[in-house]
Amino acid sequence: MADEIDQGNETAEFFLDLALRKQQQQDVSTPKGIGMCLSCETDIDDDRRWCDAACRDDYQKAQWQAKQIARCDDDEEY
């Protein structure tokens, strides 16, 4: 019984390490502030990227959705 548990733990550790390496390899670049909200395009006087938390959340959701669509498109090529 202990051998099965050890094997399960090793398998879980392998997949966790794999997921961590994949996450670390992803591009995590963050857009810079450009004087306007990256979501609603409202003028902003300082170097913030969004005018409020709602715009930030909308922007991040749109970016996530775009990545999901790109993944689906990539999968369809095969």
Compute the distance between CA of residue 75 and CA of residue 69 in angstroms, rounded to an integer: 10
In this predicted structure, what is the pLDDT of residue 77?
58
pTM confidence score: 0.53
Per-residue pLDDT tens digits for 7-45: 999 999 999 999 888 877 766 667 788 899 999 999 998
| CB neighbours of residue 38 within 10 Å | 21
- Label residue 56 by pLDDT band (50, 70, 90): very high
Q: Comparing 4-8, 19-23, 51-55, which segment has the lowest mean pLDDT?
A: 19-23
In this predicted structure, what is the pLDDT of residue 72?
81
